[in-house]
Amino acid sequence: MNAQLNPLQQQAQTLSESVTTPIPGSTKIYLEGSRPDLRVPMREIALSPTPKLFGEDVNHPFAVYDTSGPYTDGAVSIDLLKGLPAVRAAWIAERGDTEVLPGLSSAFGRTREADPALDGVRFAHRLPPRRALAGGNVSQMHYARRGIITPEMEYIAIRENQRIDAITEAHLLRQHRGQNFGASIPARITPEFVRSEVARGRAVIPANINHPELEPMIIGRNFLTKVNANIGNSAVSSGIAEEVEKLVWSIRWGADTVMDLSTGKNIHETREWILRNSPVPIGTVPIYQALEKVDGRAEELTWDIFRDTLIEQAEQGVDYFTIHAGVLLRYVPLTAKRVTGIVSRGGSIMAKWCLAHHKENFLYTHFEEICEIMKAYDVSFSLGDGLRPGSIADANDEAQFGELETLGELTQIAWKHDVQTIIEGPGHVPMHLIKENMDKQLRECGEAPFYTLGPLTTDIAPGYDHITSAIGAAMIGWYGTAMLCYVTPKEHLGLPNKQDVREGLMAYKIAAHAADLAKGHPGAQARDNALSKARFEFRWEDQFNLGLDPERAREYHDETMPKQAHKVAHFCSMCGPHFCSMKITQDVREYADRQEVEQGMAEKSKEFLAQGAEVYRPE
Amino acid sequence: MNAQLNPLQQQAQTLSESVTTPIPGSTKIYLEGSRPDLRVPMREIALSPTPKLFGEDVNHPFAVYDTSGPYTDGAVSIDLLKGLPAVRAAWIAERGDTEVLPGLSSAFGRTREADPALDGVRFAHRLPPRRALAGGNVSQMHYARRGIITPEMEYIAIRENQRIDAITEAHLLRQHRGQNFGASIPARITPEFVRSEVARGRAVIPANINHPELEPMIIGRNFLTKVNANIGNSAVSSGIAEEVEKLVWSIRWGADTVMDLSTGKNIHETREWILRNSPVPIGTVPIYQALEKVDGRAEELTWDIFRDTLIEQAEQGVDYFTIHAGVLLRYVPLTAKRVTGIVSRGGSIMAKWCLAHHKENFLYTHFEEICEIMKAYDVSFSLGDGLRPGSIADANDEAQFGELETLGELTQIAWKHDVQTIIEGPGHVPMHLIKENMDKQLRECGEAPFYTLGPLTTDIAPGYDHITSAIGAAMIGWYGTAMLCYVTPKEHLGLPNKQDVREGLMAYKIAAHAADLAKGHPGAQARDNALSKARFEFRWEDQFNLGLDPERAREYHDETMPKQAHKVAHFCSMCGPHFCSMKITQDVREYADRQEVEQGMAEKSKEFLAQGAEVYRPE
């Protein structure tokens, strides 16, 4: 059988086996919704009982939000050559508002499909594309505004609640009251709440009808803060199998969406492989591919080439498009005196085009036509910030904020068409200027979800920009950003490898969760409480498994205390077995109990004396 | 010669060679003060000229604050067996208020010195201890309050200004106006400003008279934010040579002070090796050693044992002591209902003692006697937060804030004795509760410098707590914390190795600098501007060398673009050579210039018309 597979297919088959390692200590579970084909995945972490020393407690299994898809389900057999099961296919079909097309609508797509030279790299099980019936609108926003609760919305409601109602232990639900800067987070997420948030544009469900493999998720300030990971090959690196592996690797570490930023050859084919194997929304920057089509000469871009690219990608199933429609001709000269000019690739492509033709950005002038395409497939806008600051010096300047105002104007147009929209944000911003970004975005864009890259809070740490930016990301997440675009340690220096993707994601899962805690998101603290309890009770395995990266935690513990016996030791490497801070708490608890008893007795005694010290009181 | 050295001495000699690698692209320079023996070290980074494409610029060498001591000075020969040169010795002696003692005053110190079994681990060149003349006070605060500007203060003023006045390029000095929450940061630091800040207790110069090797530095909210690194062996790990290596490694990566938290055997001897080879202030937690002296039985601790330990360490030259004098008996039961009880080692030792004796903490009842010892050697207080929260759940509770109030009361007593004082802070705190900590600390402790551990903003990422805590550290630094105690990736899991120390320090140098930027510290942005300019102009080597970790940055760049030619390439791995965002800025600049010229011409033409369009105007 293998003999018939080409090298890429062989790679994919090998990969199929390697990407299905379950996460240590966890089991995949599914919560069923109102219909049997609505099964929301979660990852359940098994916990051990509290040791006697700390008071014997059961510690029920703890379920966490799970982005990793079927890959971590031991019961599912993965074949990257075939793609994932199409969990949404029936929901899309039964709405009866779409048609299956006889073939691809884009000229470029048809050319690629007909080219025999691409047989070796083409994904074999391409689905026939689907499109809204003529003049129709299949966006989740359109349904929401007509009062329809889609299965996607119900799925999301279950997913966002993270099975919090199954938690019976009061101490796990104990949580600080948050500070949410005007967000409207309910105690429980209902399908109706999801619908209403999508209807008013405050949340987005990126869910192209040509991406039925998708496990629905939502982006909005009143939901859990999300994280995006960028992957993609470039002119100087990486192939298709490597990108698929990065995708699976990204979702394993918690990426809620993945952007494919490929710029090299075979972009079209790489994207197909990624989409067919992705349970998370995939975003792209279509202008990157359009630029490839004109051999990198930005001035030769045309609306027709771009339009064909949008349709090509929409029919593959891309869930959101970054569109730099806010880079207006008049803003371009405002960047001339910057320390780092225009650093967004899309932004500079459009700036170059505007200057070359001395005309307004064609993405802006054709914006309503773009909306027509978006609604026929339910592709969401991610309005790009082409003029975002590339250095601390350039933060919050006229160019950046001018563009943001235009993005606000475009949001209104998109919403007029019931097209879902998120807004991209910076970039490099010192801490004290971050909130101004958030406040202005909320004001200008009518609370459309903000999606920021970091921001990086200083420029002086190349090699550590996952950290410079996690600081800014946590803060802006707290202030209201709905999704954080990760930054890896390779930022500014090179292309991320697998380990960089993991490092970047961990930094951003931390930022997102810190933001949820600070906002007071219902139930957000339960995992912190469970982990801290495990830590305090020296349940080492539980501490590792409740963490964001069980493998790393175990590995680090092994370095100092390698023996398996140490995993159940009631001490740590800081103090050693001789003296232990944690153990003293037992003394403290006994003391406090005794004190309470004594106080109780003293009060009783006082009461007794006050009542005349009679042992037998007359009734 | 080597034949006479024991194994430790041989290790130290080998180490002497390995720890003196200069930092790439940098040269050690010294700025001379008002006297020839006042030479303030800085690290000067050589820069290359701007390539023609970007407009040809000179780019003068850039000088940065340097904590690395003589180790990175190619002109100094290092011998760990002898210790560093005593740069402050003359200053201390010439003040004429101290005496050289005939021998160690502490009983324990004398026992160790007399023990022939310790010959193999003892540092051979111990200095004779020095103490204030009877009844005297040799603290920098005492001098400051009498109007004396010490050489230490002048040294610090030069150091803090970071040679900013030598920067002539306007774009490097361009900086956002900060938000400093009531700090009083002057445009330039003068020796008189240093004196006044120390006098009012708002800043501390940790500088024991028995640590003449020290390069003076200051901790206070109106100065650059500082970073502390913890090292130290424990019952389960590491020897003397390893700890000295960690010290040198820490200061190489920017540690402003180092705490020796050793708990194993030979603590006394390890400390001596560290102090004699340390150009940065060394802090300790004396109760750790006192506990060793009573074989780990907290209830057997006595004031006499503790007092002898203070004197022992003060005469070795420890610059600041963490003293958990705020753990009062009445606060202890308040921790009983916590998720993680008491997690501070010092805090739990004192809690145990209090409970066992049902008496008030002896550090509290003997506090004025401790002050007498501190002022005889100029040891600074670091008032420990023994009841700091060990989990998000326990943040900002009654126990924590009760102790903080007591630390405020103790600060007033210390100040009455002219003893320098900093206050330790948490711990684990969600983002939205961080500012309350800072505000309360400033209020309760009269602006005495705050010194916080993180805080960690979530509990769910064991293995990544340098990041969970760098977020909190950056924020609390912005709000006013003067020094940030680093957290390494091994926190909660094991003892940090060299790489962990580097990771922890990088995360914290980022946090400290991000805080300085947000506070608007004068000149803080100059390095960001210089690096961003280098980045934008594809001066790769300059970008690496201006960064916090030039080696890591170069290594990462090498991974994608390994060739030396790539280090001068005018493109990066993101876009490749074909299309480059950065290059487009040149077009933008030309366009903006042309536009300006055209606008100028249009205005001239309008003016001309307005004046009647006469080519020759009558005068």
| DSSP state string for A524-567 | THHHHHHHHHHHHTT-HHHHHHHSS-HHHHHHHHHHH--SGGGG
Alpha-carbon span B619 to B607, nearest angstrom: 16
- pLDDT of A72 above 60: yes
CB pairs < 8 Å spanning A and B: 432
- At A286 the pLDDT is 98
**Mean pLDDT across A539-564:** 91
pLDDT tens for B63-118 read: 999 999 999 998 998 999 999 999 999 999 999 999 999 999 999 999 999 999 99
DSSP string across A166-186 = G---HHHH-------TT----
Residue of B474, B548, B585 lying closest to A471 (CB–CB): B474
Q: B574–A517: do the CB atoms touch at under 8 Å?
A: no
- Would you tell me which residues 36-55 of chain B have a C-beta closer than 8 angstroms to some C-beta of chain A? none
> Which one has a higher pLDDT value, B542 or B242?
B542
Of A189, A126, A221, A123, the residue nearest A446 (C-alpha): A221
DSSP state letter for B234: B
Residue with tokens 């700091």: B388
Among B162-176, B231-245, B394-408, which stretch is predicted with the lowest mean pLDDT?
B231-245
Q: Provide the pLDDT confidence category of residue B53 given band limits of 50, 70 and 90.
A: confident
Q: What does the pLDDT look like over B250-261, one tens digit per residue?
A: 999 999 999 999
Q: Please judge whether A489 and B349 are an interchain contact, meaning their C-beta atoms are less than 8 angstroms apart.
A: no
Strands A483-485 and A450-453 turn out to be parallel
The DSSP bridge pattern shows strands B62-65 and B39-45 to be antiparallel
Nearest C-alpha neighbor of A560 from the set B461, B505, B496 = B496
Please indicate whether, in this complex, the C-beta atoms of A431 and B513 are within 8 angstroms of each other: no
Edge-to-edge strand list for the sheet holding A62-65: A26-32, A39-45, A62-65
SS3 B477: helix
Beta bridge partners of A226: A483
**Residues placed in the known binding site of A:** 230, 259, 288, 324, 344-346, 385-388, 424, 428, 451, 492, 572, 575, 580
Q: Is the pLDDT of residue A616 over 90?
A: no
Is there a contact between B176 and A392 if contact means CB atoms under 8 Å apart?
Answer: yes
Distance in angstroms (rounded) separating the CA atoms of residues B202 and B421: 9
Tell me the CA distances in angstroms from B605 to B448, B595, B596, B609, B619, one per residue in order.
64, 15, 14, 6, 19
Enumerate residues 6+ apart whose C-beta is below 8 A from B17: none
Contact (CB, 8 A) for B324 and B404: no
CA distance B281 to A463: 28
Alpha helix stretches (DSSP H) within A284-433? 286-293, 303-316, 345-357, 362-365, 367-377, 398-416
Please compute, for residue B89, the number of CA atoms within 13 A of its CA located in the half-sphere on the CB side. 10
Mutation pick from B331, B458, B571 vs chain A, by most beta carbons of A within 10 Å, is B458
pLDDT value at residue A606: 75
pLDDT range class, residue B1, cuts 50, 70, 90: very low
| Contacts of residue B93, Cβ cutoff 8 Å, sequence gap at least 6 | none
Asked whether the predicted pLDDT for residue B405 surpasses 90, the reply is: yes
Distance CA A149, CA A151 (A): 7
Q: Please, what's the largest Cα pairwise distance for chain B?
A: 105
Average pLDDT over residues A40-54: 92
Residues B431, A575: C-beta atoms closer than 8 Å: no
| Residue B418, token pair as written in the block | 């002219």
Using the Cβ of A588 and the Cβ atoms of chain B, whether some distance falls under 8 Å is answered with yes
Report the residue of chain A nearest B505, measured CA to CA: A464
| Of A392, A433, A510, Cβ closest to residue B468 | A510
Residue B63 CB contacts under 8 Å (≥ 6 apart), including other chains:
B29, B42, B43, B44, B45, B162, B163, B166
To test the contact with chain B by mutation, choose from A331, A431, A582, A590 the residue with the greatest count of B C-beta atoms within 10 A, namely A431
Dist CA B566 CA B49 (whole Å): 17
Identify the residue among B432, B481, B486 best suited for mutation to test binding to A, counting A beta carbons within 10 A and taking the highest.
B432
Whether B434 and B478 have beta carbons less than 8 Å apart is answered as no
- Averaged over B469-482, what is the pLDDT? 98
* CA dihedral sign, ordered B571, B577, B580, B586: positive
Query: What pLDDT is attached to residue B619?
Result: 47
Mean of all residue pLDDT scores within chain A: 92
Query: pLDDT tens digits, residue range A280-299?
Result: 999 999 999 999 999 989 99
Choose, out of A332, A396, A479, A493, the residue to mutate when testing the contact with B (most B CBs < 10 Å): A493
Span between the terminal Cα atoms of chain A, in Å: 94
| 3-state class (DSSP) for residue B434 | helix
The residue that leads in pLDDT, B237 or B455, is B455
C-beta atoms of A351 and B588 within 8 A: yes
User: Are B493 and A547 within 8 A, CB to CB?
Assistant: no
Angle, vertex CA A253, rays to CA A249 and CA A255, nearest 5: 90
pLDDT for A598 equals: 79
Please state the rounded mean pLDDT for residues A540-552.
Answer: 97
pLDDT reading at B233 higher than 90: no
Q: What is the C-alpha separation between A60 and B36, in angstroms, rounded? A: 69
In chain A, % of residues over pLDDT 70: 94
pLDDT of residue A547: 98
pLDDT of residue B575: 56
Q: How confident is the model at residue A8 (pLDDT cuts 50, 70, 90)?
A: confident
Q: How many CB atoms lie within 10 A of CB A262?
A: 26
Confidence check: pLDDT of B615 > 90:
no
Please give the annotated binding residues of A for substrate, written as ranges. 230, 259, 288, 324, 344-346, 385-388, 424, 451
Q: Which residue of A has its CA nearest to B595?
A: A333
Q: What is the dihedral of CA A392, B67, B183, B374, to 10 degrees?
A: 160
Average pLDDT over residues A258-273: 90
Element (H or E) spanning A160, and its range?
helix A151-161
Q: Enumerate residues 516 to 575 of chain A having a beta carbon within 8 A of any beta carbon in chain B.
A: 517-520, 525, 527-529, 531-533, 535-536, 543-544, 546-549, 552-553, 555-557, 559-561, 572-575
- Which of chain B's residues have a Cβ under 8 Å away from the Cβ of A565? none
Q: Which residue of B has its CA nearest to A589?
A: B336
Residue-averaged pLDDT of chain B = 92
Say what the pLDDT of residue B594 is.
Answer: 83
Q: For residue A595, what pLDDT band results from cuts at 50, 70 and 90?
A: confident
Instruction: Tell me if B271 sits within 8 A of B313, measured CB to CB.
Output: yes
Q: Which of B332, B509, B532 sits opposite A393 (nearest CB)?
A: B532
Is B388 annotated as contributing to ligand binding? Answer: yes
Mean pLDDT of A318-329: 98
Please indicate whether, in this complex, the C-beta atoms of A506 and B464 are within 8 angstroms of each other: yes
With CA atoms as reference, the chain B residue closest to A349 would be B581
Residue A492 has pLDDT above 70, yes or no: yes
List the single residue in A430, A556, A572 with the smallest CB-CB distance to B518.
A430
Beta-bridge partner residues of A100: A130
Residue B558 has pLDDT above 60, yes or no: yes
**H helical segments located in A378-497:** 398-416, 434-444, 465-479
Residues of A with CB below 8 A from B337's CB? 592
Whether the CB of A453 is below 8 Å from some CB of chain B: the reply is: no
pLDDT at residue B125, as a whole number: 84
Interface check A95 vs B, CB under 8 A: no
Contact B461 A549 (CB under 8 A): yes
Q: Could you report the per-residue pLDDT of A434-480, keeping only the tens digit for each? A: 999 999 999 999 999 999 999 999 999 999 999 999 999 999 999 99
Tens digits of residue pLDDT in A84-105: 999 999 999 999 999 999 999 9
Phi and psi of B400, rounded to 5°? -60, -50
CB contact under 8 A, A333 and B552: no
pLDDT at position B571 is: 60
Judge residue B118's burial from the number of C-beta atoms within 10 Å of its C-beta, 0-12 exposed, 13-18 middle, 19 or more buried.
middle
**Residue B560's pLDDT band (cuts 50, 70, 90):** confident
Could you tell me if B343 lies within 8 Å of chain A, comparing CB atoms?
yes
Percentage, residues of chain A above pLDDT 90: 79
Q: What is the distance between the alpha carbons of residues B316 and B308, in angstroms, rounded to a whole number?
A: 12
Q: Average of pLDDT values for B353-369? A: 96
Contact residues, B window 456-515, toward A, CB-based 8 Å cutoff: 457-464, 466-468, 470-471, 474-475, 478, 489-490, 492-495, 497, 506-507, 509-511, 513-515
A352 within 8 A of A313, measured Cβ to Cβ: no
**Could you tell me which chain A residue has the CA closest to the CA of B64?**
A460
Residue B2: per-residue pLDDT: 46
pLDDT above 70 as % of chain B: 94
Token readout for A263 is 């710029």
Mean pLDDT throughout A523-552?
96
Q: Please list, in sequence order, all residues whose beta carbon lies within 8 angstroms of the beta carbon of residue A282, skipping any fewer than 6 positions away.
A: A211, A257, A258, A259, A260, A271, A274, A275, A317, A318, A319
Residue B329 clears pLDDT 90, i.e. is over it: yes
The answer to whether A361 and A349 are in contact (CB under 8 A) is: no
Residue A568 CA: distances (Å) to CA of A51, A597, B52, B564, B583 = 10, 34, 64, 51, 58
Query: Searching chain A, which residue's CA lies closest to the CA of residue B562?
Result: A494
Q: Cβ B333–A549 below 8 Å, yes or no?
A: no
Instruction: Output the pLDDT for position B180.
Output: 96
- Checking if the pLDDT of A380 tops 70, the result is yes
